[in-house]
């Protein structure tokens, strides 16, 4: 008996996929956590510097209020010295006049020179200028008539911060790495357990084939065979041994058990690893923020003590001091983490308390408490107590919890894509090939051999099979006969197209949440066009070029082959996206977007072509569904991640990253796709004649005009154009939340489409569903008009998603059904022309939305839009009902 | 490309502006009682503007209204770039009332220390007044003074004492009444003093009456009779531990009032200078609003505070000029 040694390559591949998604999720969420932490740290630092600045400004402006000019206020020198000494990281602090001449200065002027020059180029107040090693804070000093008399400029050394930052980053990477490592180990173990039966089966089959080759008796028999493939192997044994073979059933799909289980395991691990690493990181953050917090508390209590000193100096008795709580409250209103500021008397009583104490527990247990005694002329008067929110870091992490959720969701979808692909590429598809080859062999055709790309379990089984097939050929044609030609059965599957399509749509959609805002940032007036119309142009131009290039791109893709077409399309898209980030001029952007649209069109039509190549009429609908769900899951992931990134790394960098993803998509195709050369599918050529025929068909016209085009107008006009603008200009929401909201559309489509398809097929109420879908989009916009908030937007987008999910699929099948009487039109042609026509809606959407919004403002525009959708839906309903009646009557008359 | 062009344009602009720098401007000043802090503020501000080169021509009416037509004649002959006037009398005589029309043709004018430009007839509105003049008023708006009283503590009822013979006082008090009628910020009781009868008995009975009706703070308007007799009211208020809010500096400095909110002449002068600079740089005077300062000075007398055992809140004290100054100097 031959024992075959397995190298567990299958599990390696799945392990790699697991690692990729875990690293994606944990790295991205760690980045989010870190940037939140950084924001908090920076805030603490700024708060502290602000206290020093405010204190100094107050004194200088007091002098201005007394009529002292800046250069006359000799006390400023002492004030600056005090400010300088309040923090060892302050390099220098100075007062400059309106002509940017330095009047007073303290500290190391040499280190402040570069910062001062930068600041002098455009003197600002309140903004922080960031240099490599230094932060430059500035504040206007205003006189009694609110004119700037000069500026207070402070230079803060950041080098300590950089060192600190590096330390924290290292710790974070350690923790994240640890968590990912443990998760991968756990994942591998579980996946191994899930895959064990499959691996066993592979091993049994391989052993059996080896035994067959060496003429031994195999233990695998008709009775012990448990899977379809094993049965095929048994049949091959019989064939090889010259026994008769029972009638074979038609081949069927092989399913590898544990497919969903592996996915579930991966997703569980993603959630656990992300949450655990966030929790560990929170600990690091809190520990690292503590010293900063302490410094800030000290700064505040020093200032309070000084103010009290002054009041005592001018003769106010300590117990007669009033109104400190007002000053404390003012401080709290700008620094929300300050939960308590008060004076505590020696008997423990709190006075001048600002902020609430909610429980009777000791203050130390309720807050991060800092105290500082007030001494006056040797007497201990009271303690300044400052309570800082111990949950401040948790609170700010909670703010990004939606972002983290979005990351987990995207990682889950990514895991789905990857695992689906790997299982399909390494197991399912080769198994189908194996079965096909055996089946052909049974029918006497030994010419086919398997394509062995990997030396894993399946690959070894394949090469063993190939050897056996060789033996069989030799038996038939005589040993050594060279005329025994072989043909490699190329494995390809519908599932292969999903990952690259997903990646590419992902990359293109990354700008979805902010694109109109990005356009606005480089807005240039165009005579005769309103601003909102100009902003809509790049989206409309993209849609137009995309739609116009589709037919040509399709033909070209048929000619050069899918692999080449996809790679070139993805490369063009990558270049276009990178350029979109690079340009800073409206017209350049317009050109670059049109360029990107060509690439996108090539990829889009090629992916569709791949679906056609790999399906026949029996499973094409299912294939298109695979294509669409890949498309929408890419869309929603891209929108969400793009928004999250744009908030943190800016628009340009997000575009660059998206270009990198397009590149990855091209690489993927280059790596895993084989070029079949010309497509075997007969190309559906469209002629003008076909257009003419269809345009005369009133069903086609009505369905396209009143259902398909309005749906596309809603998609590009409302979702792509109006929502990002509305979210950011009217609701002041971040890019992240825009991205998450847009995600709802893709989710609704992915989740509802399969359900609605089943329901539509079941009840055969296509017309009703089409009209219902249109109505729902209308209701969505009315809802937004009534609830003009982020909840309204979410509701509207969900409703539109559901409306499109239930309305768009039946459009096509109804159309083919109603036009099938016309002999001149094949289904392919009808679908092609229908798709081409509805793209008019894609182009018109942004322009229409922009014109409406410019004329009426967002809210009223939504209402008008809703009215437009209702009217369309009603026209559809009336037309379809009447025409059905007419048809029925016609049928009756004919009888 | 554009990046390379920008510095060149900048350089050109610099050249143009240095050419403009060489052109000196003349400011003709008509004063009422010699140089005050207001003029020092005005001239200091203009001299601190590096892009303006200014020559000042200073004339002084010496409190004699009859000299003013002579100055107007001089202005018409010299054709200065700008005219500055101090006080209501000089400003009205030089500029003419809104009804009479511009006296100086196209020479712009900036007035200073005019307490009520509308009441005086200089303009009918503070903005878009359509006259070739603008200016600064030293008045602290009554609404601002009332807010300052609210900042001091929890007061609800103000008593105001004024000389019924003084027109200016009557005007202030009725304005105060009309503001409070609308805002309901405080209750107001008015006590009109007859300056022909002895003051003390009147005050004693009024104060008594005030306390009975629940008055918790006294307001001392810009009323020369009441200010010169401030000690009497201060004594009565002190005995009752009541605070006096003064509309003018004097009573706080002399210890007859606890607190006041005032404009510094020097700063009002700065403000007038700021407006003058705008005109000299090309903004038409009619487009520049007539304004009071945006921030005023609290004054607090700590001796009074100690005597009535009432100390203004921390924020007010930190923003105040403290009297007597020996205390503040500590």
Q: Write the secondary structure of A289-314 as one string of H (helix), E (strand) and C (coil).
A: HHHHHHHHHHHHHHHHHHHHHHHHHC
Model confidence at B330, pLDDT cuts 50, 70, 90, reads very low
Are B267 and A144 an interchain contact pair (Cβ–Cβ within 8 Å)?
Answer: yes
Residues 6+ apart with CB under 8 A from B116: B88, B137, B139
CB–CB contact A326 B315 (8 Å): yes
Left if phi > 0, otherwise alpha if psi is -120 to 50, otherwise beta: which for B74?
A: alpha
How many helices (H) and strands (E) would you count in chain B? 14, 13
Predicted pLDDT at A756: 78
List, as ranges, residues 35-74 from B with C-beta within 8 Å of A.
Answer: 37, 41, 44, 48, 50
Complex confidence, ipTM: 0.82
Tell me if chain A has a CB within 8 Å of the CB of B317.
yes
pLDDT of residue A179: 94
Res A507: pLDDT: 94
pLDDT at position A686 is: 62
Q: Are strands A90-97 and A102-107 parallel, antiparallel or unpaired?
A: antiparallel
Residue contact A324–B314, C-beta within 8 A: yes
Bin A556: left if φ > 0, else alpha if -120 < ψ < 50, else beta: alpha
- Digit-coded pLDDT (tens) for B121-171: 889 989 888 899 999 988 888 999 999 999 898 999 999 999 988 887 888
Partner residue opposite B318 with nearest CB, options A66, A307, A315: A307
Q: Look at residue B9 in the predicted model and tell me its pLDDT.
A: 47
Best mutation target among B150, B155, B262, B314 (most A Cβ atoms within 10 Å) is: B314
Q: Among A825-829, B31-35, B196-200, name the one with the lowest average pLDDT.
A: A825-829
Right CATH for A52-158 from 3.30.1780.10, 3.20.20.70, 3.30.450.20, 2.70.170.10: 3.30.450.20
Residue A280 in tokens: 């560990």
Radius of gyration for chain B, computed over Cα atoms and rounded to the nearest angstrom: 23
Distance CA B61, CA B72 (A): 11
CA B90 to chain centre: 16
B2 part of contact set with chain A, CB < 8 Å: no
Q: How far is B100 from chain A (nearest CA, A)?
A: 31
Instruction: Flag residues of chain A having pLDDT under 50.
Output: 1-6, 249-251, 479-483, 677-679
Q: Where are the domains of chain A?
A: 52-158, 493-673, 686-895
- Residues of A within 8 A of B261 (CB-CB) are none
Query: Chain B residue with minimal CA distance to A324?
Result: B314
**A138 Cα to chain B: minimum distance (Å):** 22
Query: What is the distance between the alpha carbons of residues A80 and B75, in angstroms, rounded to a whole number?
Result: 47
Determine the distance in angstroms separating the CA of B67 from the nearest CA of chain A, rounded to an integer: 31
Q: Which residues have CB under 8 Å from B293's CB, separation 6+? A: A144, A145, B136, B138, B263, B267, B268, B271
Average pLDDT, chain B: 87
- Distance between CA atoms of residues A591 and A767, nearest Å: 41
Distance, in Å, from the CA atom of A437 to the CA atom of A426, rounded to the nearest integer, reads 17
Give the contacts of A482 (CB within 8 A, at least 6 positions apart). none
In which order are the strands placed within the sheet that holds B25-31? Answer: B54-60, B25-31, B82-86, B109-112, B133-137, B291-292
Number of CB atoms found within 10 A of residue A196's CB:
12
Cβ-Cβ contacts under 8 Å between A and B: the total is 86
Residues with Cβ within 8 Å of A326's Cβ and at least 6 positions away in sequence, in order, are B313, B314, B315
Task: Name the residue among A617, A565, A535 with its Cα closest to residue A849.
Answer: A535
Option in A69, A315, A323 nearest B314 (CB): A323
Q: Does B102 touch chain A (CB under 8 A)?
A: no
User: How close A329 comes to chain B (CA, Å)?
Assistant: 12
Looking at chain A, the number of H-run helices and the number of E-run strands are: 26, 11
Distance CA A331, CA A354 (A): 10
Interchain pair B317, A316: CB under 8 A: yes
Q: What's the gap in Å between the CA of B71 and the closest CA on chain A?
A: 30
Give the distance from residue A729's alpha carbon to the nearest chain B alpha carbon, in angstroms.
Answer: 30
Give B26's strand partners.
B55
State the Rg of chain A over Cα. Answer: 35
| Interchain proximity A145–B266, CB inside 8 Å | no
Separation between Cα atoms, residue A113 and residue A95, nearest integer Å: 14
Q: Which CATH superfamily does the domain covering A493-673 fall into?
A: MFS general substrate transporter like domains (1.20.1250.20)
B142-262+296-328 CATH choice from 3.50.50.60, 3.90.1170.50, 1.10.287.3510, 3.40.50.2300: 3.40.50.2300
- A96 and A103 Cβ atoms separated by less than 8 Å: yes
Question: Measured between alpha carbons, how far is A462 from B297 in angstroms, rounded to an integer?
Answer: 94
- A274: number of Cβ within 10 Å: 27
CA angle A569, A743, A661 (to 5 degrees): 30
Model pLDDT, residue A450: 76
What is the pLDDT at residue A487? 66
Distant-in-sequence, close-in-space partners of A63: CB < 8 Å, separation ≥ 6: A73, A75, A76
Integer angstrom CA distances of residue A114 from A128, A728, B219, B280: 15, 36, 55, 35
C-alpha distances in angstroms, A87 versus A48, A52, A53, A157?
Answer: 9, 9, 12, 10
Do domains A52-158 and A686-895 share one topology? The answer is no
Question: A503, A577 in Cβ contact below 8 A?
Answer: no
Q: With CA atoms as reference, report the closest residue to A328 among A310, A352, A351, A349.
A: A352
User: CB–CB of A783/A795 below 8 Å?
Assistant: yes
Contact A596, A577 (CB under 8 A): yes
B314–A311: do the CB atoms touch at under 8 Å?
yes
Chain B neighbors of A324, CB-CB under 8 A: 314
Q: Which residues does chain B have within 8 Å of residue A143's beta carbon, measured at their own beta carbons?
A: 267, 270, 295
Q: Please give the structure tokens belonging to residue A433.
A: 């090939």
Contact A51, A299 (CB under 8 A): yes
Question: How far, in Å, are B226, B260, B326 from residue B303 at the CA level?
Answer: 21, 14, 11
* Cα four-point dihedral sign A737, A408, A33, A368: positive
Please state the separation of Cα A575 from the chain's center in Å.
20
pLDDT at B311: 95
Distance between B319 CA and the closest CA of chain A, angstroms: 7
CATH number, domain B2-138+266-292, options 3.40.50.300, 3.40.50.2300, 3.30.70.1380, 3.40.50.460:
3.40.50.2300
Q: Give the domain A686-895 fold.
A: Growth Hormone; Chain: A; (1.20.1250)
Q: What is the DSSP string of B35-101?
A: --HHHHHHHHHHHT-TT--EEEEEEE-TT-GGGHHHHHHHHHHH--SEEEEEHHHHHHHHH--TTT-
| d(CA A149, nearest CA chain B) in Å | 10
pLDDT of residue A823: 59
Portions of chain B given CATH number 3.40.50.2300: 2-138+266-292, 142-262+296-328
Predicted local distance difference test score (pLDDT) of residue A2: 40
Cα separation, A295 vs A365, in Å, equals 20
Task: Find chain A residues with C-beta within 8 A of B153's C-beta.
Answer: 322
DSSP 8-state symbol, A368: E
CA distance B57 to A227: 111
SS3 B176: helix
Contact by Cβ (8 Å): B285, B131: yes
For residue A781, whether the previous peptide bond is cis, meaning omega lies within 30 degrees of 0, is no
Q: What is the pLDDT of residue A593?
A: 94
d(CA A816, CA A712): 20
Q: How many angstroms separate the CA atoms of A44 and A56, rounded?
A: 19
Q: Are B180 and B212 in contact (CB under 8 A)?
A: no
SS3 for A62-86 is HHHHCCCCHHHCCHHHHHHHHHHHC
Which residue pairs from B276-283 have beta carbons closer than 8 angstroms and sit at least 24 positions apart in sequence?
Answer: B276/B27, B276/B42, B276/B45, B276/B46, B276/B82, B276/B84, B276/B110, B277/B45, B277/B46, B277/B49, B277/B52, B279/B82, B279/B108, B279/B110, B279/B134, B280/B25, B280/B52, B280/B54, B280/B81, B280/B82, B281/B51, B281/B52
Nearest to B302 among A99, A315, A322 (CB): A315
Q: Is B274 on the interface with A (CB under 8 A)?
A: yes
Task: Residue B270: list chain A partners with CB under 8 A.
Answer: 67, 143-145
Angle between the A457-477 and A228-240 helix axes, to the nearest 10 degrees? 30
**SS3 of A380, please?**
strand
Instruction: Give contacts of A313 with chain B, Cβ < 8 Å.
Output: 330
């Amino acid at each position: 008996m031959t024992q075959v040694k397995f190298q567990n390559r299958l599990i390696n591949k799945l392990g790699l996929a697991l690692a990729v998604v875990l690293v994606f999720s944990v790295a991205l969420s760690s980045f989010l956590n870190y940037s939140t932490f950084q924001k908090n740290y920076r805030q603490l630092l700024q708060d502290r510097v602000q206290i020093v600045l405010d204190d100094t400004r107050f004194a200088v402006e007091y002098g201005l209020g007394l009529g002292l000019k800046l250069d006359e206020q000799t006390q400023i020198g002492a004030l600056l010295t005090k400010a300088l000494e309040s923090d060892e990281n302050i390099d220098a602090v100075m007062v400059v006049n309106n002509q940017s001449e330095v009047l007073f200065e303290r500290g190391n002027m040499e280190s402040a020179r570069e910062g001062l020059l930068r600041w002098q180029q455009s003197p600002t107040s309140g903004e922080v200028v960031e240099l490599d090693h230094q932060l430059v804070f500035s504040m206007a000093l205003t006189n009694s008539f609110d004119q700037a008399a000069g500026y207070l400029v402070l230079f803060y050394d950041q080098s300590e911060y950089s060192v600190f930052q590096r330390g924290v980053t290292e710790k974070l990477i350690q923790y994240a790495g640890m968590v990912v490592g443990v998760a991968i180990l756990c994942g591998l173990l579980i996946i191994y357990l899930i895959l064990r039966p499959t691996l066993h089966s592979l091993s049994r089959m391989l052993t059996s084939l080896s035994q067959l080759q060496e003429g031994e008796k195999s233990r695998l028999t008709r009775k012990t065979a448990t899977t379809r493939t094993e049965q095929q192997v048994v049949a091959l044994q019989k064939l090889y041994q010259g026994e008769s073979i029972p009638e074979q059933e038609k081949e069927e799909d092989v399913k590898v058990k544990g497919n969903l289980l592996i996915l579930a395991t991966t997703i569980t691990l993603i959630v656990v690893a992300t949450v655990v690493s966030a929790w560990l990181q929170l600990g690091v953050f809190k520990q690292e923020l503590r010293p900063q917090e302490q410094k800030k508390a000290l700064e505040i209590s020093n200032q309070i003590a000084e103010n009290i000193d002054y009041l005592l100096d001018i003769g106010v008795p300590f117990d007669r001091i009033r109104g400190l709580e007002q000053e404390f409250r003012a401080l709290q209103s700008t620094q929300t983490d300050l939960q308590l500021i008060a004076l505590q008397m020696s008997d423990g009583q709190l006075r001048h308390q600002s902020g609430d104490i909610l429980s009777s527990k000791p203050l130390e247990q309720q807050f991060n408490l800092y105290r500082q005694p007030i001494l006056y002329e040797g007497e201990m008067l009271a303690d300044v107590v400052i309570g800082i929110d111990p949950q401040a870091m948790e609170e700010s992490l909670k703010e990004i919890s939606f972002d983290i959720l979005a990351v987990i969701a995207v990682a889950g979808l990514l895991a789905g894509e990857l695992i689906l692909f790997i299982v399909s590429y390494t197991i399912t598809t080769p198994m189908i090939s194996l079965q096909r080859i055996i089946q052909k062999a049974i029918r006497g055709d030994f010419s086919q051999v398997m394509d062995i790309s990997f030396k894993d379990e399946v690959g070894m089984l394949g090469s063993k099979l190939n050897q056996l097939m060789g033996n069989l050929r030799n038996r038939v044609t005589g040993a050594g006969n060279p005329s025994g030609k072989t043909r490699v059965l190329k494995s390809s599957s519908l599932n292969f197209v999903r990952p690259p399509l997903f990646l590419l749509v992902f990359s293109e959609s990354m700008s979805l949440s902010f694109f109109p805002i990005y356009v606005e940032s480089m807005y240039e007036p165009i005579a005769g066009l309103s601003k909102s119309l100009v902003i809509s142009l790049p989206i409309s131009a993209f849609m137009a070029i995309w739609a116009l290039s589709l037919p040509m791109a399709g033909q070209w893709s048929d000619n050069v082959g899918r692999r080449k077409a996809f790679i070139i399309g993805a490369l063009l898209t990558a270049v276009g996206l990178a350029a979109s980030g690079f340009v800073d001029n409206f017209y350049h952007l317009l050109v670059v977007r049109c360029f990107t649209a060509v690439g996108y069109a090539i990829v889009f039509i090629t992916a569709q072509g791949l679906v056609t190549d790999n399906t026949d009429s029996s499973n094409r609908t299912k294939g298109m569904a695979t294509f669409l769900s890949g498309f929408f899951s890419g869309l929603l992931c891209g929108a969400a991640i793009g928004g999250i990134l744009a908030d943190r790394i800016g628009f340009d960098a997000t575009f660059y990253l998206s270009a990198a993803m397009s590149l990855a998509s091209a690489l993927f195709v280059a790596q895993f796709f084989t070029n079949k050369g010309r497509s075997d599918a007969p190309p559906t050529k469209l002629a003008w004649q076909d257009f003419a025929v269809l345009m005369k068909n009133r069903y086609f016209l009505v369905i396209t005009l009143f259902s398909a085009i309005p749906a596309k107008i809603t998609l590009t006009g409302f979702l792509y154009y109006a929502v990002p603008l509305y979210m950011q200009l009217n609701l002041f929401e971040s890019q992240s939340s825009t991205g998450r909201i847009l995600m709802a559309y893709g989710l609704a489509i992915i989740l509802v489409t399969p359900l609605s398809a089943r329901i539509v097929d079941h009840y055969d109420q296509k017309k009703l569903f089409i009209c219902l879908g249109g109505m729902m989009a209308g209701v969505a916009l009315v809802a937004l008009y009534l609830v003009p908030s982020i909840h309204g937007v979410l509701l509207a987008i969900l409703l539109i998603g559901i409306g499109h999910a239930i309305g768009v699929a039946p459009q096509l099948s109804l159309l083919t059904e109603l036009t099938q009487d016309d002999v001149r039109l094949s289904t392919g042609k009808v679908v092609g022309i229908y798709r081409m026509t509805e793209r008019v809606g894609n182009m018109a959407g942004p322009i229409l939305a922009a014109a409406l919004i410019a004329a009426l403002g967002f809210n009223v525009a939504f209402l008008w839009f809703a009215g437009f959708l209702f009217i369309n839906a009603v026209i559809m309903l009336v037309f379809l009902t009447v025409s059905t009646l007419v048809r029925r009557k016609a049928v009756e008359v004919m009888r | 490309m554009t990046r390379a062009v920008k510095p060149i344009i900048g350089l050109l602009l610099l050249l143009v502006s240095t050419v403009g720098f060489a052109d000196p401007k003349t400011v003709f000043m008509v004063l009422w009682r010699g140089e005050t802090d207001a003029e020092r503020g005005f001239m200091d501000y203009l001299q601190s503007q590096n892009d303006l080169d200014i020559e000042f021509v200073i004339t002084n009416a010496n409190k004699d209204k009859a000299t003013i037509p002579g100055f107007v004649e001089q202005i018409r002959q010299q054709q200065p770039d700008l005219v500055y006037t101090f006080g209501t009398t000089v400003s009205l005589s030089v500029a003419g009332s809104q009804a009479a029309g511009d006296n100086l043709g196209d020479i712009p004018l900036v007035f200073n220390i005019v307490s009520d430009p509308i009441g005086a007839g200089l303009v009918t509105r503070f903005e878009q007044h359509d006259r070739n003049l603008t200016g600064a008023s030293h008045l602290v708006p009554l609404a601002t003074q009332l807010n300052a009283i609210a900042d001091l503590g929890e007061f609800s009822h103000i008593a105001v004492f004024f000389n019924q013979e003084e027109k200016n006082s009557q005007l202030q008090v009725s304005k105060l009444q009309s503001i409070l009628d609308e805002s309901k910020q405080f209750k107001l009781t008015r006590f009109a003093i007859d300056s022909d009868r002895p003051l003390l008995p009147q005050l004693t009975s009024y104060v008594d009456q005030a306390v009975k009706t629940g008055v918790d703070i006294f307001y001392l308007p810009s009323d020369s009779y009441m200010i010169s007799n401030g000690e009497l009211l201060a004594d009565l208020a002190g005995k009752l531990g009541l605070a006096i809010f003064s509309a003018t500096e004097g009573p706080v400095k002399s210890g007859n009032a606890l607190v006041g909110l005032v404009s510094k002449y020097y700063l009002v002068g700065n403000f007038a200078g700021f407006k003058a600079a705008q005109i000299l740089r090309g903004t038409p005077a009619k487009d520049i609003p007539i304004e009071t300062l945006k921030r005023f000075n609290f004054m607090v007398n700590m001796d009074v505070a100690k005597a009535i055992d009432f100390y203004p809140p921390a924020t007010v004290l930190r923003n105040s000029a403290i009297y007597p100054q020996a205390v503040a100097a500590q």
